[in-house]
Structure 1
Amino acid sequence: MRALTLAFAVSSAFIASAAPAQAPSAALKQAVANPARSEANRARDQYRHPAETLAFFGIKPTDTVVELWPGGGWYTEILAPYLAERGKLIVAAPTAKGLEGTQKRLAAKPELFGKVQAVNFPTLLGGTGVSPGTADAVLTFRNAHNWRGGYQHPEKQDYSLEAFREIYAMLKPGGVLGVEDHRLPESADDAREKSSGYIKVSTVRRLAEQAGFRFAGSSEVNANKKDTADWPKGVWTLPPTYAEGETDRAKYQAIGESDRMTLKFVKPKG
């Protein structure tokens, strides 16, 4: 009975911390509507709610923003034009090979990405990172579970705490960390965080707070109640990956992309 009470208390704490929706600015809406964005990326706005997500994180067009592990550049396509005139965007890729691929993607669209700087993160995997105390905001979309699972680490070791500490160092006092990731239910076995692509809210909060961050709230803008987080091939079973191929594809398409946490943390000023 005590365990159930504790679980309810933890769940209630997360719900109580949910922050009210933020209205995206005209400039942010314009960046999302930019015709230079790929059609395939636009099709995923219905699952990722970029304008609302960035508004919740409080990203301003004058900010110096670090986007961690940009992958194919889904958010980079939005952030680059939004920050181009008065701000600065730095994208941070893992390993030298990852950085090379990122630089090639940036160079392919100089009219869109011409002002974007590329570095490495985390530097424990090698390369040059972001200078300490220079970023107004650091954003990471669906990556914390990778650090927990040791992705790109030569020995597959969990380096999530080291990653959060490096993020803390690169931010200015008062700077913001925005985390969006696939949400694992709090009742699930912790071991699933290293193989399923999902991670618990409590784990992300613990790591961020151990690194020195203060929790500033959560949003349910990227929640998906249809996602049980229990699929044959983890989160990659769902779109856009469809790891099961054509098996039950219509079923997974109807579910949509994963249920996601959207968390905001702040580096204390004093």
Structure 2
Amino acid sequence: VVEIWPGSKGWYTAILAPYLRDNGTYYAAQFPPDSNIPFYQRSLIQFKTRLSKQDEIYNKVRITHLYPPVYNDIAPAGTIDRVLTFRNVHNWAKSGKGEAAFKSFYKALKPGGVLGVVEHRAPEVRPLERQIETGYMSEGYVIALAEKAGFTLVDRSEINANPKDQTNHPAGVWTLPPTLRLGDKDRETYEAIGESDRMTLKFLKPEH
């Protein structure tokens, strides 16, 4: 299993790495080590530090890197059963790296392998520029990216849906928890909404 951009906290790393430790392999496709973006540098260092502090749990984690066009190989080609990405597509859309990222996922997966995508969800009518600005992407945009890379959409779930989120906040998705970018301004309102409305999509790399 490859998790894409676990970031500094590694919320899903804490679930996936122990689960796969003795009966699989967990790859963390992290930010590039030579990035000129301070946030990426800090996140990678903090992630590695967290792993080292619990070596008995995380000593089998394999760290790779994703940042096209320099870092494209998230794992040996055609060896992976699952690729998972949580709330990253808006970043790739902003940097113009979406197509390259999905090609990397396709390359790593075995035929029949699964790509799971969770992302903040925008209304389908929202223009792409506005999607990028707010951090909410439409399902249509994500599905088109995946299909262009060769994937087939096989299922979707509302497990991460939030009908309270109307997705039209002054600071985009970062208005809501856990970021709460506006600080105490209307904080109770945004905390009552909770975290963002999210799509959960399952794609398949065809067998042939």
TM-score in terms of structure 1 length: 0.71
Partner of 2:183: 245
Partner of 1:189: 127
Partner of 1:93: 30
* Cα distance in 2, alignment partners of residues 170 and 133 from structure 1: 5
- Pick the aligned partner of 1:107 from 43, 52, 63: 52
* Cα distance in 2, alignment partners of residues 171 and 100 from structure 1: 27
Partner of 2:5: 69
Label 1:173 to 1:128 Cα distance change in 2 as closer, same or farther (>3 A).
Answer: closer
Deviation of residue 105 (structure 1)? 2.2
* Cα distance in 2, alignment partners of residues 167 and 146 from structure 1: 16
Deviations 1:90-114 (A, max 9, x none): 0011211354443222112212212
Partner of 1:45: none
* Cα distance in 1, alignment partners of residues 73 and 148 from structure 2: 24
Deviation of residue 82 (structure 1)? 1.0
Instruction: Say which one has the larger Rg.
Output: 1
Structure 2 unaligned regions, length at least 5 = 34-40
- Pick the aligned partner of 2:147 from 209, 215, 240: 209
Amino acid aligned to 1:259: D
* Cα distance in 1, alignment partners of residues 113 and 72 from structure 2: 24
Deviation of residue 253 (structure 1)? 0.5
Partner of 2:167: 229
Partner of 1:220: 158
Aligned length: 199
Percent identity of equivalent pairs: 48
Q: Is the 8 A contact 2:64 2:75 kept in 1?
A: yes
Q: What is the SS of the residue equivalent to 1:228?
A: coil
Q: Is the 8 A contact 1:122 1:129 kept in 2?
A: no
TM-score in terms of structure 2 length: 0.91
Deviations 1:213-239 (A, max 9, x none): 011110000000010111111100000
Label 1:127 to 1:186 Cα distance change in 2 as closer, same or farther (>3 A).
Answer: closer
RMSD between aligned alpha carbons? Answer: 1.4
* Cα distance in 2, alignment partners of residues 264 and 123 from structure 1: 23
Partner of 1:57: none
Residue correspondence of structure 1 range 25-174 to structure 2 within 5 A: 65-71=1-7, 72-96=9-33, 97=41, 98-126=43-71, 129-150=74-95, 158-174=96-112
- Pick the aligned partner of 1:261 from 189, 199, 203: 199
Deviation of residue 129 (structure 1)? 3.4
Deviations 1:8-27 (A, max 9, x none): xxxxxxxxxxxxxxxxxxxx
Deviations 1:159-204 (A, max 9, x none): 1011101110000110000000000111212211222111010000
Indicate the structure with greater strand content: 2
* Cα distance in 2, alignment partners of residues 126 and 205 from structure 1: 23
Deviation of residue 125 (structure 1)? 4.4
Q: Is the 8 A contact 1:92 1:99 kept in 2?
A: no
* Cα distance in 1, alignment partners of residues 53 and 72 from structure 2: 22
Q: Is the 8 A contact 2:106 2:205 kept in 1?
A: yes
